[in-house]
Amino acid sequence: MLAATPRLLVASDFDGTLAPIVSHPSDARGLPAAMSALRDLANLPDTTVAAVSGRALADLAEVAQLPAGVRLVGSHGAEFDGSPPPLDPAQRELHARLSAALESIVGDVSGAWLEGKPAGVAVHVRAAEPTAGQRILAEVRAGPASWNGVSATEGKAVIDLGVVHVDKGTALTALRRQTDATRVAFFGDDVTDEKAFAALGDGDVGVKVGPGETLARYRVAAPADVAELLTTLAAARRRRH
C-alpha cells in the first residue's frame, strides 16, 4: 500500500495537474484543496513532496506559491531547489543563438510568446491563432530543434528547447535517489510527463490527468480529482503515523 511505505516520494506536474490550464500561464493557480493536501503530506515524517515542472524555477516559485516544504524542480529537471544549471561557454553561446533564432520565428504573432529559462527557451502557441501557431511549431522543429546540442521536448502547444539534456524521468529518478524513497507517486497531464511515468517501478503509482495515450497505470479527468487523491493519500499516511 502506497500510504504505508517507509519513505514516500509524492511528485507532480503543476499546470494541468495541480492547477487548471489557463490561456495565460502567469494566471495559473493551484487548487486550494491540492495545496492543502501537499502541505499535509510535506509535514508528515518520511514523506517528500515535489513539484516537477517545465516552467523555469523562478517562474514556478512565483506563480505556483506551493506550501513550505515542497521541493521545486524546474525546466524539466535542469533546475533543482533554486540551483541554476551550470553552463559551459559553448552552451551559453548556443543559448544566445537559440534565443535569437526563436525570436525571429515567433516575431509579432499575437498569442505566441517565448519563455526564457536558464538552460533554454520554450515556445508557447496556446493563445495564438491555430494556423499561425502550427506554422511556428513547424519552423521550430525544422530549425533550432534540430541543431546539435539542443534538446527538444514537446508538450501541449509548446516546444521546450534546452542546451542541457534532461527530462522529468531523470529528475524523478534523481529525487528518488536523494530521498531514498521506497515508493513513488507521480501525477501529470502532459506528454512531457510520460518520461516520469516511464521511470516508475513496481509498487510505484502513476496518475495521468485527462485524455491521451499514457504509460500511467491510473487516470483521472481533471486537477480537482488530483486534489481529492492527494487529500485521501495524506489522510491515509497520517493514520499510518
Q: Which residues are catalytic?
A: 13
CATH of 89-162, one of 1.20.120, 2.60.40, 3.30.70, 2.40.50: 3.30.70
For 182-220, write each residue's pLDDT tens digit.
Answer: 999 999 999 999 999 999 999 999 999 999 999 999 999
Cα-Cα-Cα-Cα torsion 47, 178, 166, 89, nearest 10 degrees, comes to 130
What is the predicted pLDDT for the residue at 83?
Answer: 66
What is the predicted pLDDT for the residue at 234?
Answer: 97
**b/e code 96-135 from CB counts within 10 Å (16+ = b):** eebbebbeebbeeeebbbbbebbbbbbbbbbebeeebbeb
Listed as ranges, residues in the chain with pLDDT below 50 are: none
For 81-96, write each residue's pLDDT tens digit.
Answer: 766 778 899 999 999 9
> How far apart, in whole angstroms, are the C-alpha atoms of residue 172 and residue 12?
10
What is the predicted pLDDT for the residue at 156?
Answer: 83
Cβ–Cβ under 8 Å, residues 53 and 73: yes
What is the predicted pLDDT for the residue at 81?
Answer: 74
Q: Is 45 helix (H, G, I), strand (E, B) or coil?
A: coil
Q: For residue 192, what is its C-alpha cell? A: 512531457
pTM assigned to the model: 0.84
- Give the CA count within 13 Å in the CB-facing half-sphere of 176: 16
Question: How would you class 155 by CB atoms within 10 Å of its CB: exposed for 0-12, middle for 13-18, buried for 19 or more?
Answer: buried
Q: Which residues have CB under 8 Å from 238's CB, separation 6+?
A: 40, 44
Superfamily of domain 2-83+167-240: HAD superfamily/HAD-like (3.40.50.1000)
Q: Domain segments of the chain: what residues?
A: 2-83+167-240, 89-162
Q: Does 2-83+167-240 match 89-162 in CATH topology?
A: no
